Chains A and B, each alone.
Chain A
Amino acid sequence: MALGAEPETLDLVQFGLGGVGRALIGQVLAAGERYPWLRYVGLGDRSGFLWRPTGWSAGELRDLLTAKTAGASLRQAWNAGPQAAGVFIHERLERGPAIVEPLLTVAGAGGLAVVDVTAERNTYPALLAARVAGAHLILCNKWPLAEDQERYDALLTAGTGRLQYETTVGAALPVLSTLDNLLLTGDTVQEIQAAISGTLGFVTSQIEAGRPFSAALRDAQTLGYTEPDPRDDLGGTDARRKALILARKLGMRGNMSDIMVESLVPPGLESVPLTEFWNGLRDVDAQYAARVAEAHAAGRVLRFLALVSRDGAQVGLQAVPRGGLAGSLTGTESLFVFKTARYGDQPLAVRGRGAGADITAAGVLADILAITPGRTARAGRTGR
């Protein structure tokens, strides 16, 4: 975007009212006086889509948030409140363009930003329609970026709006911005070593400490780190999507299926009932204990890591030096090590626990504000 070419008002359309989505609305409301040009005009959840071209007041948004937090769907909240508070479109996210077209005809597309904070696979058509019409797009949802190459290319190249997705990898950690800075200034990123699964990071930390694999996974579930079916984590789907996003940034052409992932779901337990899975899991405890012992004997520790380059990506368990960056990880920590031509033997590294609804939402808000860098700076802060 050229210097000075910023919209007077940035209308926000948000898909997703889960933990991150609600936290984001809360943060926009809290920062309302500082960023008066941000205005919510559309909200969507699984029940449908609510929009109001003139935007909602802070009070109306708070009422909607209260209803959602109490467990109501958007449709129920709309039914219970004054109908003047918006038009409810009985369309679900998978209906694609139908849910954004009404808004695109009313709002100037250059002043519209669509924010996807869902974890849904079906938002792509709506997002593409918004991009084609010139809207800006902010993604916290990884799925649209994990589409097959052709669809990915279409999303990236459509329209004239900006596309921001810092929180899709590393959540609140400055991972993609660091990578962008390297690439924009002509550095060659040879490889990214990344611990990108907090859940599997926790499990490997536990088995390193002597806990049986099955018990470590139980601990992770008790602490709320896993999906209800932990095979969703062990299969590495989430890690695969993040690795694909990073690899594509480096220039890889390919799809999810091209990312090599070592699944930690024991063979034969992939599709059995959950109880049977838990019972069968104990049978592999000894195997993992042996892998840990083998690594220790070589002065190494096991970590679940992704190795990403422009040629592709591999995700799985690796034995790494105990005193190294990856070897010193604990619990659910994430790590991204950028090995580049410019930095040679001393790579750049970003490490921390970036997840959590509030700090992820803060990362999404930073992406939104990056669309209006001049106004944001003039509102009292330095930076983009």
Chain B
Amino acid sequence: MRAKPVLLLQLGLGRVGQALVTHYLAHGSRYPQLRYLGLGDHSGLWLIADGWGATTLSEAAEFKQSGMPLTRWHPEDAHGEAVPAPDAYAPDLLWRLDELGVRRAIVVDATPPSSNIAPLLIELHRAGYAVVLANRAPLTGAQGDYDALTKPGKGRIRLNAALGAGLSLADALCHAAAAGAPFQATVAALDPALGWIMAAVQHGVRFSEAVSEAGRRGLLHRDWREDLSGATSARLALLAARLAGRQLEPETVCRQALLPLGWETQPPGQVWARLAELDSSLAEQAWLAGERGQALRYLAATGPDRVSAGLEAVPIDSSFGRASADSLIALYQAGAVQPILLAGPSATASTTAAAIFADVVSLL
């Protein structure tokens, strides 16, 4: 008996989105019931109700790679409908899907944090659509939005790709919480840029040079102030705390920025030009830590009383002291002497796409 088709609606076709299409084309044949229904980028959404063939999907991805907006593409051998933005990302999309006879599908959010897609995801989830998130933004806004997205509704939600990619950290936190034994505390080094920068500073590289090199290596966000302000790590800490069962608003996370007060709001070029002003201070902090057998690392931490992101001095021969751009998470169970450690390479477009795919197939 052939399995009933499960439709996939992918929102977002940036680096991660393109990697997901590539991953599906390489491995999707293992899951023949899984079919693409739609593919979207910032310009809008293409819906092909009777499913995308591999050729059509490849053509769309290639078109997008050429730098063109997706809604300018037209499939040659398939009947579809282009829904331009902003309608494609408004709750009205549900009506469009309903008209096509679609009432169940897996929706993947691989859009950038700025996409403001949370209201649509909440509506889809309420209507019974399963949601797989790589985009962390809808999960790290107001607690009410998080609750609306994760708790009520008929659809399921999967979010390993939003937190630690291949490490399945979200599953580990959720399973422990569901079994009534939530982790009491977590410590994580998950921002590869800050990991690499602080390891370089520890080895004597000037901070400003380390930031430049992290940029050359592709480790920084497009808006690198996201990294240096600690905002990325703070959001990771917030999400980890929420998955462990905590209720808290983003502003309650204690965040230590590597940039001085006021710099975050200055034009990027101006801040970049002043980074060298921070060299001596960070070099001194790193040297002092080294004298004590410690290393400075930028860590996201959750505990019973505090959720924070900031610089911490850790033993130089500890797992965190040895870590650089790789991902590392310590999970502390109540009463356990030592934490559970999950370690792996930093999240890339390819590993994040694989994590999304794992979340998708877990819903089949």
Contact = CB atoms under 8 A, between A and B. Distances in A.
Contact of A177 (B171, B333, B350): B171
Nearest to B174: A383
A366 interface: yes
A54 interface: no
A178 to B, nearest CB: 6
A94 interface: no
B345 A181 contact: no
A359 B243 contact: no
B208 interface: no
Given A362-B176, A369-B178, A382-B243, A172 B344 contact: no
Interface stretch (A115-123, A183-191, A230-238, A277-285): A183-191
B178 A343 contact: no
Contacts of A382: 150-151, 157, 159, 170, 174, 243
Contact of B338 (A184, A346, A349, A353): A353
A177 B167 CA distance: 10
A364 to B, nearest CB: 8
B157 A377 contact: yes
Contacts of A27: 179-181
Contact of A353 (B30, B180, B336): B336
Interface string A366-384: 1001100110111111111
Interface in B100-142: 104, 130
Interface of A: 2-3, 27, 30-31, 172-174, 177-178, 181-182, 184-187, 323, 325, 328, 333, 342-344, 346-354, 356, 358-359, 362-363, 365-366, 369-370, 373-374, 376-384
B27 interface: yes
Contacts of A374: 154, 156
Contacts of B350: 342
A348 B166 contact: yes
Given A381-B177, A382-B157, A343 B166 contact: yes
A378 B341 CA distance: 29
Contact of A186 (B23, B319, B335): B23
Interface stretch (B57-65, B220-228, B356-364): B356-364
Contacts of B345: 343-344, 346, 348
Rank and list the top 7 A-B pairs by shortest CB-CB distance, nearest first. Answer: A383-B174, A186-B27, A352-B340, A346-B345, A366-B175, A362-B179, A362-B181
A352 B341 contact: yes
A348 B169 CA distance: 12
B303 interface: no
A157 B3 CA distance: 18
Contacts of A348: 166-167, 342-345
Given A342-B350, A348-B343, A349-B344, A185 B27 contact: yes
Given A2-B3, A343-B344, A383-B174, 8 more contacts: A30-B180, A173-B340, A181-B355, A185-B354, A328-B319, A359-B336, A362-B179, A384-B174
Given A348-B167, A383-B171, A184 B358 contact: yes
A365 B181 CA distance: 10
A187 B354 contact: yes
Given A187-B354, A346-B344, A350-B340, A381 B178 contact: yes
Contacts of A353: 336-338, 340
A366 B179 contact: yes
Nearest to A381: B178
Given A185-B357, A350-B340, A383-B174, A2 B180 contact: no
A383 B166 contact: no
B30 to A, nearest CB: 7
Contacts of A369: 175, 178-179
A3 B166 contact: no
B243 A333 contact: no
Contacts of B317: 323, 328
Interface in B151-166: 151-154, 156-160, 166
